[in-house]
Amino acid sequence: MDKLIITCAITGAETTKAHNKAVPYTVKEMVDEAKSAFKAGASIIHLHARYDDGTPTQDKSRYKKIITAILKECPDLIIQVSTGGAVGMSVEERSDVLNLKPEMATLDCGTLNFGGDEIFINTENNIIYFAEKMDDLKIKYEMECFEKGHIDMTKRLIKKGIIKPPYHYSFVLGVNGGMIGEERDFLFLKDSIPSNASYSVAGIGKYEFSLAELAIKHGGHVRVGLEDNIYLEKGILAKSNAELVEKVVKIAKKYNREIANTSETRKILKMEE
Tally of helices (H runs) and strands (E runs) in the chain: 9, 14
136 by Cβ neighbours in 10 Å (0-12 / 13-18 / 19+) ranks as: exposed
- The full 3-state SS of 131-159, as one line of letters, equals HHHHHHCCCEEEEEECCHHHHHHHHHHHH
* Residue 98 contacts residue 133 (beta carbons within 8 Å): yes
Site for ligand KMH in 115-174 (CB under 6 A): 120, 144
CB of 235 to ligand KMH, least distance (A): 25
By CB under 5 A, residue 58 contacts Zn ion:
no
Contacts of 10 (CB under 8 A, 6+ apart): 24, 30, 33, 34, 37, 45, 46, 47, 225, 226, 227, 241
By CB under 6 A, residue 106 contacts ligand KMH:
yes
For 39, other C-beta atoms within 10 Å of its C-beta total: 12
Q: Which of 32, 108, 185, 228 binds ligand KMH (CB under 6 A)?
A: 108
CA 46, 66, 102, 4 dihedral sign is negative
The entry of ligand KMH, Zn ion, none that residue 57 binds, CB within 5 to 8 Å by partner kind: none
Residue whose CB is less far from ligand KMH, 86 or 252: 86
Residue whose CB is less far from ligand KMH, 44 or 259: 44
- What is the gyration radius of the CA atoms in the chain, in angstroms? 17
By CB under 5 A, residue 229 contacts Zn ion:
no
Contacts of 191 (CB under 8 A, 6+ apart): none
User: Going residue by residue from 78 to 107, which x/- string records binding to Zn ion, judged by CB under 5 A?
Assistant: ----x-------------------------
Residue whose CB is less far from ligand KMH, 43 or 83: 83
Q: Which stretch binds ligand KMH (CB under 6 A): 79-87, 151-159, 177-185, 262-270?
A: 79-87
Residue whose CB is less far from ligand KMH, 114 or 186: 114
Sites of contact with Zn ion (CB under 5 A):
82
Sites of contact with ligand KMH (CB under 6 A):
12-14, 82-84, 86-87, 106, 108, 114, 120, 144
